[in-house]
Structures are given as structure tokens and as C-alpha cells.
């Protein structure tokens, strides 16, 4: 177990087809657990979703400076008003 601590491991079985098991086994690097491999795949997927969302925003929304966006997001969290660019 390289990333997860002993107490954090769930005793959960996941049914995989033989083809998926083979692919997952090939993706696993030496010394890596299947948990590490799956966690890495999830992180990669989340990163790709974020990139796609940012590309979509870039293509459809007016951009603002990070300083302005951070200020707006901070204020949004405090007053719970809908976020808007204006």
C-alpha cells in the first residue's frame, strides 16, 4: 500500500470483465497497488474534465483576471448570491 493507510482500505469487491482486468493489470506500474492505479486513473479523468470545462468556458464566456475571479468567488462563498460576471 503506497498511498492508502491500512485503516483506510475498504473491503469492497469490484466485478471486472477479464478484458478490463487485463487492461488494468497492464496499467499498473511495478510496486503500485490496484488502489493506486485506480486512484491515478480517477485523478487523470478529473483533470481531463477540468480541462474540458475550462476549454468550454474559454470558448463561451468572457474572461476575467484571476484576481477578479478570486475576489468574486470569495464573495460568492460568503453571501451565497449567484455568481455573475459584470
Q: Is-contact 52 76, C-beta < 8 A?
A: no
Q: Give tens-digit pLDDT for 37-77.
A: 999 999 999 999 999 888 888 788 777 778 887 787 777 65
Q: Above 80 in pLDDT, residue 78? A: no
**pTM given for the model:** 0.59
Residue 86 lies in a domain: no
Q: Among all chains, which residue has been given the C-alpha cell 500500500?
A: 1
Mean pLDDT, rounded, of the chain = 81
Measured from the Cβ of residue 40, the count of other Cβ atoms closer than 10 Å reads: 15
Residue 42 lies in a domain: yes
Domain count for the chain, please give it: 1
Task: State the pLDDT at residue 67.
Answer: 84
Q: Above 70 in pLDDT, residue 79? A: no
Residue 1 lies in a domain: no
Range of the structural domain that residue 72 is part of: 6-79
Residue 84 lies in a domain: no
Confidence at 29, pLDDT banded by 50, 70, 90? very high
Residue 39 lies in a domain: yes
What does the block give as the cell for 17?
470483465
Residue 85 lies in a domain: no
Higher pLDDT, 85 or 25: 25
- Helices 18-27 and 34-60, axial angle in degrees (round to 10): 90
Residue 31 lies in a domain: yes
What is the DSSP-derived secondary structure letter of residue 86? Answer: -
Amino acid at each position: 500500500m503506497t498511498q492508502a493507510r491500512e485503516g483506510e482500505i475498504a473491503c469492497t469487491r469490484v466485478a471486472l470483465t477479464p478484458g478490463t482486468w487485463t487492461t488494468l493489470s497492464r496499467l499498473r506500474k511495478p510496486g503500485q497497488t490496484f488502489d493506486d492505479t485506480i486512484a491515478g486513473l480517477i485523478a487523470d479523468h478529473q483533470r481531463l474534465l477540468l480541462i474540458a470545462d475550462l476549454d468550454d468556458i474559454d470558448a463561451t464566456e468572457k474572461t476575467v483576471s484571476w484576481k477578479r475571479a478570486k475576489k468574486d468567488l470569495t464573495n460568492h462563498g460568503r453571501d451565497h448570491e449567484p455568481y455573475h460576471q459584470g
